[in-house]
Structure 1
Amino acid sequence: MSSLETIQVFQSLNSSPHTRLEQSASLGDGVVAALWSNRHDAQDYHAPSHHTLSCYIAGGFETYRRDQPGRKGAPDKLCVLPAGHQSSWVINGDIRLAHLYISPEQLALNCVTLLDREPREMMLQENTFIDDPAQAERFHRLIGMNWTEPGERLQTSSLAHELLDHMTLNQVGLRDGLRLKGGLAPHLRRQLMEFIELNLAEPLSLGQLAGICALSEYHFARMFRESFGLPPHQYLLARRMNRARELLRRTRKAFGEIALECGFASASHFSNRFRQVMGATAGEYRLAFET
């Protein structure tokens, strides 16, 4: 998600005269956070293109979905709203709630890395008013940070990934009645993942990856996206960024050395890409994790 204008749930809330946006920030990796206050409102969400994970921070005792009028919200209740869902809400009284907006591409990557499954096999399960103390505690830590401070925002990014990983492991399930067509065979997908992880420092080409599967570049790119939920270059960049973050947290290696280990031509190229993805410099990221 490159802009708040593309996040329909955010825009729906932001356009209401009853709602106040306390803060929002892009946390990198296709994740955006927002903190809202609302009072005596009604909201309708029509097939948003992103996933939403929400937590009631305060109030919400008389908030309910129109199709579930007997179930009411409360502090620390969580809701999982997948992309493409439909829901209508009535907010009676006051409520304060935190949202994470998650791109389908990031959830697809999580399905690959955490579940070792093709994203098209998986589906985020819609759920309302979940009791999950660990997730609620993460949300409370998240909103206690200053999202405009680069160092703290990077820590919020780590918390956001914890929230997303927990959601992926607990709310993602197999699609009912799915009959897979096209895409890469599971053994080819595993072979590609292993090859990419072992060669993140190398200047990998589309033809090189396609050759592993004995496919043309055109057919490989299409089938890769069907299997992984994102194009090869985005998957490769995400894996390189993950490796870079790990090296920044756990080692004192120079940025130039990290750049080469993660497949970037120079420290400046690495620094520019890191800032684009994470919203802060590699130095700020490392500093945030120093004790």
Structure 2
Amino acid sequence: MSTAAPSPPADVFDVLSRSRARLHRRATLGDGLAVAQWSNSFDATRYLPRHHTLSLYLRGGHGTYREDAPTERGAPGKLCLMPAGHEVNWVVGSEQTFVHLYFEAERLAPLALRLLDREPRELRLPELNFCDDPELVASLARLVSLDWTDAGERLAANALGHAALAHVLARHAGRAPRGDIRGGLAPALRRRLVDWLDARLAQAVTVGEMAAFCALSETHFAHAFRASMGVAPHEWIVARRIERAAALLRARHAPSLDDVARATGHASASHLVRRFKAVWGMTPGQYRAAAGQLRR
């Protein structure tokens, strides 16, 4: 008689949603970031996350530990980082309250390139278990203090989320083994290509044109680009256009929506609205109003 294979453990939020844990609030912050505040007690959870998860204990946690490290216990102000793809089993003790910041693995790519001038494949996020990092704790505590239902404060939470990710990369990320880094674009060529693309975000740029700029075949270029940037060429351009649109909308004297759409290579204002809302969870108009609220 055959035995069905066990189903793989689900993502962190999904596991907690089906456990004894109680969800107090949650919010999508845009840019692949999400946040949730939970409490839990006397439970056991098993994760194999698709996303990276940064956790801060707000209250309790003294009886909580990982099955593979039973002597290390949680406490208020302690941080954990669960990288995507790392299986972990937790035993939860008495009542605890904690906040989770979830971020898509792809969000590290632009930060790695911009802040460290390193390709995402060069970096490895470690598992952090009950670590002390006052600067990171302060960012997450500030995020918890915000009203996530308010568009302006949600925008502030997004900025704090990005600051937390930048800090994690700068302080905690390690280097991948040298043998894991193969192919891709040469660093100098990658930098020139990014500058060239940034100057052409308002235009329609094809993979063929990008490949020609790099003096590579289209197939070779597409593979090399994904290896170096972590995403396909068209995904990078879409994300960069939305990033540029957000920057224009945050300006004190923001241009009209039609002008923002033209400046960022969108076919129309409605096209920009659809793309922008898919990333940010709010329309460009709502985003502009929220940014104005933060300036007051």
Per the TM superposition, whether the score is higher than 0.5 is yes
CA displacement 1:65-114 (0-9 Å, x = unmatched)? 22222221111111111112122211110111111111111112221222
Structure 1 residue identity aligned to 2:43: D
Gap runs ≥5 in structure 2: 1-8
Matches of 2:288 and 2:163, distance apart in 1: 18
**Partner Cα distance (2:108, 2:32) in 1:** 9
Secondary structure, aligned partner of 2:266: coil
Using a 3 Å threshold, how does the CA distance of structure 1 residues 7 and 111 change in structure 2: closer, same or farther?
Answer: farther
Matches within 5 A, 1:232-271: 232-252=233-253, 253-271=255-273
Distance 2:14 2:42 in 1: 18
2:187 is aligned to 186
Equivalent position of 2:209 in the other structure = 208
1:177 CA displacement? 4.2
Aligned to 2:17: 14
Whether contact under 8 Å (1:154, 1:278) holds in the other structure is no
Report deviation, 1:179.
4.1
Q: Is residue 2:62 matched to residue 1:66? A: no
> Which TM-score applies when normalising by structure 2?
0.90
Distance 1:237 1:58 in 2: 40
Check the 8 A contact 1:121/1:178 in 2, yes or no.
no
Mapping of 1:1-80 within 5 angstroms?
8-16=11-19, 18-46=20-48, 48-80=49-81
Write the distance in 2 (CA, Å) between the matches of 1:33 and 1:157. Answer: 10
Q: Contact 2:56–2:79 (CA<8 Å) still a contact in 1?
A: yes
CA root-mean-square deviation? 1.8
Consecutive unaligned residues of structure 1, counting only runs of 5 or more, are 1-5
* Identical columns (%): 45
For the residue of structure 1 that corresponds to 2:24, the secondary structure is strand
Whether the 8 Å contact between 2:51 and 2:83 is mirrored in structure 1 is yes
Cα offsets for 1:144-177 (capped at 9, x unmatched): 3332333332232222212222212222221134
Q: Give, in whole Å, the separation in 1 of the partners of 2:89 and 2:182.
A: 34
Q: Which residue of 2 aligns with 1:147?
A: 148
* Larger strand proportion of the pair: 1
Cα distance in 2 between the residues matched to 1:122 and 1:271: 34
User: What letter corresponds to residue 250 of structure 2 in structure 1?
Assistant: R
Q: Tell me the distance in 2 between the aligned counterparts of 1:167 and 1:179.
A: 22
Partner of 1:103 in structure 2? Answer: 104
Tell me, what secondary structure is at the counterpart of 2:244? helix
| Aligned partner of residue 198 in structure 2, secondary structure | helix
Instruction: Please name the residue that 1:230 is paired with.
Output: 231
Structure-1-length-normalised TM-score: 0.91
CA 266–7 in structure 1, closer or farther in 2 if over 3 Å, else same: farther
1:14 deviates by 1.2
Q: 2:175 matched to which residue of 1?
A: 174
Distance 2:127 2:71 in 1: 17
Opposite residue 148 of structure 2, the aligned amino acid is W
1:193, 1:230 → 2: CA distance?
13
User: Aligned partner of 2:18: which letter?
Assistant: S
Q: Give the structure 2 partner of residue 198 of structure 1.
A: 199
Work out whether residues 155 and 288 of structure 1, in 8 Å CA contact, stay in contact via their aligned partners in 2: no
How far does residue 133 in structure 1 lie from its aligned partner after superposition?
2.1
Aligned residues: 284
Larger displacement relative to structure 2 (134-143 or 51-60): 134-143
The offset of 1:37, in angstroms, is 0.7
- 1:82 equivalent to 2:68? Answer no
Q: Tell me the CA shift for residue 249 of structure 1.
A: 1.5
Answer with 200-209 or 152-161: which moved more: 152-161
Deviation at residue 180 of structure 1 after TM alignment:
2.1
Letter in 2 for 1:31: L
Q: Deviations for 1:23-48, whole angstroms, at most 9, x for unmatched residues?
A: 222222222211111011111223x2
